[in-house]
Structures are given as C-alpha cells and as structure tokens.
Structure 1
C-alpha cells in the first residue's frame, strides 16, 4: 500500500481527551498518512463537555473500549497503524494481537496480563481510582496535584498545571481495577496475544521518569513478547514522564515514531 493512503488511529488513555492528539494528527497528515483520533465510547467531543458529563463513560471496561476501536478499524477498509498512550497503548497491543492493525505503537502502555513488577510510584499514581473499591463502576477525575505526580513530574509545575487545565477529563476507573487484578484472573480483559507470530511490528515506548507506567513495567511488557518472532522493539526516552505525548517534547516522540514506521516500510 502507498504510504500516502495508510490510515493511522490514535487511542488515548485515562484522564486525557481525544483532542489531546491534535498536534500528532497534524504532523502525521503532513507526513502523508490519513490519521484520526476518535474518543472512547460515550466520550463527549470537547474537554469541557466531557467534564460536564462524567457518567457517560462510567463503567467502561477494557473490552468495551477495545471493541469500540475494533469497529472503527474495521470500517477503514485498510489495516491501520494504531498508536496508543497508556491504556490506549494496551488497547493498541490487543488490536495488533488480534490481527486488526498493520502495526502498533504503545507509548507508556498500561500493564498487560503477565507483567509482574508493581513499583510504588505506579501504585501511588493509581490511588485516585484504586484507593476506593466503590470507584470500579464510576468515572474518576484527577486533581492538579495528582496529575502532577502521575503525568507531569518531568516538566515544570507550571506546564503540568497548564496541561491539566487543557486536557484532563473524568475517566472510567474499571480498566485500572482490571489491570491490577489481571494476573489473578483466568480470562482477564488485560490479556494480549503476545505469542502471535503473524502480527505486524510493535514499538513500545517508555519515558524513563514515568510514575504511572514506570520503565520497569514497559521492559517487562517487552519480555512478554519473547515467544513471538514478529518485530517487537523498545525505545526509551530519558527525562520523560507520562505526559510525553502532550508536553513540550511531544514532537521528539512523534518524530521517533515516524522514523520507526519508515524503517518498517509503513
């Protein structure tokens, strides 16, 4: 397929709105791709509307979101490149394992079934949702302080606060509970087909200062793919936290992804 026709689907994670991918969409369009950044099921079209209607996404689980994006992907005609951040990265891995994508990029991806490390920083980052079992079927919002620890720890406090005001929305807590219990569940929704030899290439990206998905978690994710002969690579970014897709250094990550896709002939 000609690169100019290659669709790209961006998938955001918890607490960020789909429009946060705007700069990426523009750069990928300028690079000859056909990018889209659809929201999660029930997600309002704007940040402000999403904040006003948190119950519209309450109770969504990993499979609900994966099935939503699978239908979008299937409607494109040609297999896309799927690029996800955080839980969007986990969903991108699931879609790739299911053979629905030509390639996937998982940026600071949420832990999949089989990943064992659980650093203290990650536990703290998940507490706004996991700290109350009653949150499982609710939509939860972050405070600016919580966002600073989980997302904006590698940027200035001012930039972290600006990103919080611009992009954060309430998100369903259920995916966090599902991921936390994945290794104790026989049929966890956080499971990914990591042994698929016929899938397209996968790039895992890790911010070395990430609190929400620490580098040790992403490296453990890479190990889960050791039985697959398909291309699986890891790229680490020094001094970057969980906000690496939206902060002042986002273009460095985007350029690295574009370069990798070119290497893969995509």
Structure 2
C-alpha cells in the first residue's frame, strides 16, 4: 500500500494459523465502505499471496507467538494513532497481546487461541491441533493441513461443497511452534501466550465464539472471558454465534460477524470519523 494521508480510523486485521492476510479482503472492503482505513497485517515469512506462501512454506517455519506479535507491533507502530485490531484464531491471541501492551485502541478476538491461564482444553481442540502436536519436530517446521483436517478444524459447520472451496482458496502452511507454545503454557512461567489480562487501562475487548467451533470451542473462549473479569475492570465482552465453526470469518456468513463487529465498535464510540491524519506505510 502506497503512503497516504487519511483522517479515517485505522483497523488492522490479523490472521491466524493456516491462513494469509488476504483472507481478510472481504472484511477490508466492508470496513472501508463504512469509513474506516482497513488494512491487514502480515506474519513473518508470509509471501504476498496465499499461493506464493504455499510455494515458499519454509519461510514461515519456526516463528513463535512472541516473534509474530513483535513483527505485527512494528507494523502498527508506523501509524500515528493506536488502531483497532481484529484477529482470528491465533490472530485473536496476538491482538490480545498487543492490546495488553497498550498498542491498540480496542480489539476483537474471534475464535481465539487461549491466553495462559485458561485451563480448559476440550478434546476437539486437541484433535484439531493433533496434526502439529503429534510430531515434536513440527516445532521448527511449517505444517500443512489435509483437506480432511481442515474440514474438522475449520469448516465443520458448512456444507461439503463450501468446505472444499474454502480449503482450495485459503489453506496454506503455518508454523507449528505457536501450537506447542499454547499447549505447554501452563507449565511455562514465561509462556509466549501470556497476555496482560490485568491491564485496567487498556481499550475495550470483544471475544467472539462460534458455537460449533472445534478448534476454539466456546468453553475455552468463555474461560478466557472469566479470566479477564477476575483480573481487570477494563471492558471485556462476549458474543457467541450459533451454528458457526472456525471458518466463521471466511465462509458465506462472514458478513454477519462483520456487521456485529461494526456495531460493537460504534457502541464503544470507535467510529470511523474519530480518526486523525496519519501516514500509512505498507504493512
């Protein structure tokens, strides 16, 4: 994206494992139409497109949550004001990390990976992570999901035909390390998935859950909500969408979530006209 000046409120979208920044393109268009300056952040090693990343899978290997969060922090620090952050899956834990560091005005975490302190680990979440966690060598590797694995972890709540389309369009290799870091967080006092849940001065946070999600089941997201409520009086809210799985930001029902997110941001007075002039560099 070329450098420009804008008065629009910035929103930065953060993808999760097995997806690329371009998976947010419909959301970017939606929020731009509603007056925001919407952009998507990259992860370290990402190529320009999903297809290019598939061909250069080794470039994404080995990166953990801390390195990825710091990589995104450098991108959003180019902005002249704190942006709104919207993240999905491991992107959800990343936006919580950055919000806890006071680098964002607000955050929406959709079907988020759990921060340290969430004890629930449902069987479906373990099964979803098994393609990575089953081999310790995957800690340093880039791992791809088969169509069947993607079906269980992402597209279990959509039709077989849509599941095939989403896999063909969006699925790509991802670093295995973040899943190992999440799985061992309870045993690690310096866990990479640690979030400053006690920050009482941060901006508002919305946690969104898909009721049929196998990868980030509602029980896990609700446990994160309770963790925040125990530790801080900062605004933390929860919304569950019925009959939705982990692909809820990608599939044909994505607009329902985008419209809800827009309404929530406006309810927190984070409107598009609240922006200031700022230079935008390519993220």
Give TM-score scaled by structure 1 length.
Answer: 0.98
Query: Aligned pair count?
Result: 264
What's the CA shift for 1:67? 0.2
Cα deviation digits, residues 92-115 of structure 1 (max 9, x gap): 000000000000000000011000
What's the CA shift for 1:47? 1.2
What's the CA shift for 1:17? 1.1
Residue in structure 2 matched with residue 242 of structure 1 by the alignment = 246
Residue in structure 2 matched with residue 139 of structure 1 by the alignment = 142
Q: What does residue range 30-179 of structure 1 map to in structure 2 within 5 Å?
A: 30-179=33-182
Cα deviation digits, residues 112-142 of structure 1 (max 9, x gap): 1000011111100001111111100000000
Distance 1:188 1:62 in 2: 9
What's the CA shift for 1:160? 0.6
3-state SS of the aligned residue for 1:106? strand
3-state SS of the aligned residue for 1:186? coil
3-state SS of the aligned residue for 2:31? helix
1:232 aligns with 2:236: yes
Residue in structure 1 matched with residue 277 of structure 2 by the alignment = none
1 or 2 for the larger relative contact order (CA 8 Å, sep ≥6)? 2
What's the CA shift for 1:4? 5.5
Structure 1: stretches of 5+ with no match in the other structure: none
Query: Contact 1:4/1:32 (CA < 8 Å) preserved in 2?
Result: no
Give TM-score scaled by structure 2 length.
Answer: 0.92
Query: Contact 1:139/1:173 (CA < 8 Å) preserved in 2?
Result: yes
Distance 1:121 1:212 in 2: 6
3-state SS of the aligned residue for 2:16? coil
Q: Which runs of 4+ in 1 moved over 4 A?
A: none
Cα deviation digits, residues 128-182 of structure 1 (max 9, x gap): 1111111000000001000000000000011011000001110000000000000
